[in-house]
Amino acid sequence: MTFPITVDGRSVPVVPGQTIGAALHAAGVRSWRSTRFGGRPRGLFCGIGVCFDCLVSVNGRAPERACLLEAAPGDEVTTS
Amino acid sequence: MTYDLVVVGGGPAGVAGALTAVRAGLRVALVDSGARLGGQYFRHCAVPGAVPGAVPGAVPGAVPGLGRFLRQARALGERADVLLRHQVWSAAREPDATLAVHGVTPSPEGERPVVLRTRRLLIATGAYDRPLPFPGWDLPGVLTAGGAQALLKGSGVVAGRRVVVSGTGPFLLPAACGLAGAGARVLGVYEAGGALGLARRPLLALDKAGEAARYAVDLARHRVPYRTRQAVVAAHGEREVEAVTVARLDKGWNIIATRVVECDTVAAGYGFVPQIELGTQLGCGTRHDVDGSQVLTVDTGQRTTVPGVWAAGEPTGVGGWRLSELEGRVAGLAVVADSRALHAGPATGTAPREGAARAVPGVLVRRRVRWRRFGEALQRAYPVKPGWQGWLRDDTLVCRCEEVPLARVREAQDLGATDARSIKLLARPGMGWCQGRVCGYALSCLAGEPPQPPRRPIAQPVTLGALSESGEASAGVTVDGTGGARADDPPSHPNPPTRRNS
């Protein structure tokens, strides 16, 4: 009972109601952003929308917090 | 339209407050950033039982009281405007003495502004994890303890396969038990504090012993070692965590000896930071709680120092979900009394404090005092000791957003920055996306001062587009009845997830 979303072209399964961050983490993708200065890898940290480490772009929109955003069928996620 | 009460926060405090007011006939809206009501403690999956890899028969994140909370949430959804996926970034007094609550909600075109007008505001915004920095704490795989819990409760995802839990405070126990119960191998719970914290305090032993014992049994069943005076003091790995250094600590949390433990995930937490910026935006008075946190000052009716503004739960001091729910109910009763006084007497906008306080039955007031004392005793039992500052190296990031290492903080201090705010202005820690929420406590410790009240005129990042539109929104467009999804049904009748852009 899952549906797929794509993350940088790769298919990731989502259980309905999961956030994009949770789906990525569950699929073994634990970092999806590089920091501006040090180029350090980042993924989930606070998990509740406080730290902004987990920013992603969904369907071409401005960066959003992957830990808050519920995944929807057909979502195209791009990371930086 | 002007509401009688707007509640910000859909956890136990917010839902109890809103429900109490709506049952008395008030016009109520509740706003929450999440997709479902629950807050952190009652966070729950949209579709229970559909989680791959979960232990058969186990409901991920099921917590005591969840069933009752979901019934309350459903009752609230039937009678109040429940606006989910709405982030509140400001609350301000309008010229006509009402309050304007400004939020944004996602839409296909980007953020859409929403403005609610209300006579009264209840701040029930909860708290978030209080992390301490250590070398490698920004490696993927290092999460806050609350973050690991949120993954499990909200999405049914186990944070890792081989997990260490570290920090201080009673919250480490449910975090570890949750992970172990969901199939993770929890290699250890490292409690930096002393072993006798609970036993030395008879109050705690009396009141909370049952719960602590339950967790102890759980940990033993999953063969999870619980070690006091130990902590994760460094995380190692290239792209993500591969191992941690666990240290034995002295009383002041200075390192005595270390060993390396291989793991793929760390869940760490050193208490909580109450979320109070809506209150400080409005000028509400604050005080230092026992754990050093800034909290909103309230009276026996949960009223802040600003007329028309109430606060309940963690923003008035960290004390757990039962206390939060009780305070929400108390605030709801006081709000109802205030509204009745307004209708009965001259339209002053506020009832006399004593009148509102009398509206709250003595039994609730006494229970609140008792539970609040218990919360304070717990805070006292798990203090953060200054030795953690010795775990940091020069290149350890203090601020994750602006990537400010300890050396730059020390450099700013050498240049004459004596307080956290001056350090921030010189070296930029706390100036990034999270607005200092993650590093604020650590930075104030490094500066040698207690945390100051937050100065965040905008409580959530908001796009300039939404900001400019919100002027138009406050001129007339308010809730249109389509923007906010209602509270989901309880899990026994799962709804398909509401599309954000439907």
Domain ranges in chain B? 2-127+273-344+353-360, 132-269, 392-469
Count CB pairs under 8 A between chains A and B.
134
Highest mean pLDDT pick, B224-228, B356-360, B377-381, B475-479:
B224-228
pLDDT value of residue B347:
46
Q: How far apart are CA B404 and CA B411, in angstroms?
A: 11
Res B355: pLDDT: 57
Residue B268, CB-side half-sphere exposure with 13 Å CA sphere? 26
Token pair of B365 as six digits: 């007031």
Whether B138 sits inside 8 A of A42 (CB atoms) is yes
Angstrom CA distances, B345 to B5, B45, B308, stand at: 19, 46, 16
User: What is the assigned CATH class of domain B2-127+273-344+353-360?
Assistant: alpha beta
- Give the per-residue pLDDT at B217: 84
How far does Cα B191 stand from its chain's mean position?
21
* pLDDT tens, position by position, B11-65: 999 999 999 999 999 999 999 999 999 999 999 988 765 444 444 444 555 677 8
State whether A15 and B148 contact (CB < 8 Å): no
> Mean pLDDT: which of B128-142, B183-197, B369-383 is highest?
B128-142
Average of pLDDT values for B217-242? 94
With CB atoms and an 8 Å threshold, state whether A17 touches B434.
Answer: no
| pLDDT tens digits, one per residue of B58-81 | 455 567 789 999 999 999 999 999
Domains B2-127+273-344+353-360 and B392-469 in one fold = no
Q: What gap in Å lies between CA B253 and CA B318, rounded to an integer?
A: 23
- Which of B110, B142, B150 has its CB closest to that of A61? B110
Whether A52 and chain B come into contact, CB under 8 Å, resolves to: yes
Quick check: A43 and B47 CB within 8 A? Answer: no
The span from the CA of B187 to the CA of B267, in Å, is 11
Average pLDDT over residues B130-155: 97
C-alpha gyration radius of chain A: 12
Instruction: Find, in chain A, the residue whose alpha carbon is nearest to that of B152.
Output: A22
Tokens of A64: 């959003």
**Beta-carbon separation of A26 and B139 below 8 A:** no
Question: Nearest chain A Cα to B435, which residue?
Answer: A51
Quote the pLDDT of residue B59.
Answer: 53
Q: What tokens were used for B1?
A: 């339209």
Per cent of chain B over pLDDT 90 is 72
Compute the mean pLDDT over every residue in chain B, rounded to the nearest whole number: 87
**Mutation choice for B interface testing from A19, A46, A75 by most B CBs within 10 A:** A46
Q: Nearest Cα to B291, choosing from B188, B389, B193?
A: B193
Phi, psi of B236 (to 5 degrees): -125, 150
Token reading at B22: 């709506």
pLDDT greater at residue B253 or residue B210: B253
Asked if B138's CB is within 8 angstroms of A40's CB, the reply is: yes
* Residue of A26, A37, A50 with shortest CB distance to B157: A26
More confident position, B488 or B352: B352
Average pLDDT over residues B107-114: 85
Inter-chain touch B159–A72, beta carbons under 8 Å: no
- Tell me: the pLDDT tens digits for A18-56? 999 999 999 999 999 999 999 999 999 999 999 999 999
ipTM of the complex: 0.97
Q: Decide if pLDDT at B189 tops 80.
A: yes
| pLDDT over 50 (residue B151) | yes
Q: With CB atoms and an 8 Å threshold, state whether B144 touches A62.
A: no
Q: What's the pLDDT band for B498 if we cut at 50, 70, 90?
A: very low
**CATH 3.10.20.30 assigned to A3-78:** yes
pLDDT computed for residue B53 by the predictor: 45
Burial class (CB in 10 A: 0-12, 13-18, 19+), A80: exposed
**Residue carrying structure tokens 């999953």:** B222
Q: Is the pLDDT of residue B483 over 60?
A: no
Predicted confidence at residue B64, as pLDDT, reads: 79
Q: What is the mean pLDDT of residues B425-433?
A: 94
User: The domain B132-269 is classified under which CATH number: 3.60.21.10, 3.50.50.60, 3.30.420.10, 3.40.50.300?
Assistant: 3.50.50.60
**CATH number of B392-469, picked from 3.20.190.10, 3.40.30.10, 1.10.10.1100, 3.30.830.10:** 1.10.10.1100
C-beta separation of B240 from B139 below 8 A: yes
Identify the pLDDT of residue B201: 58
B377 has a pLDDT exceeding 90: no
Is the pLDDT at B476 greater than 90? The verdict is: no
pLDDT tier at B413 (50, 70, 90 boundaries)? very high
Range scoring the smallest mean pLDDT among B294-308, B342-356, B359-373: B342-356
- CA atoms of B381 and B388, how far apart (whole Å): 17
Q: Can you tell me the mean pLDDT for B422-441?
A: 94
The reply to whether A74 touches chain B by the CB within 8 Å rule is: no
Whole-Å CA distances, B502 to A2, B43, B106, B483: 20, 23, 11, 9
Residue of A73, A16, A58 lying closest to B494 (CA atoms):
A16
pTM (2 decimals)?
Answer: 0.91
B391-407 pLDDT, tens digit each: 999 999 999 999 999 99
Find the residue in B nearest to A1 (Cα): B50
Query: Percentage of chain A with pLDDT > 90?
Result: 91
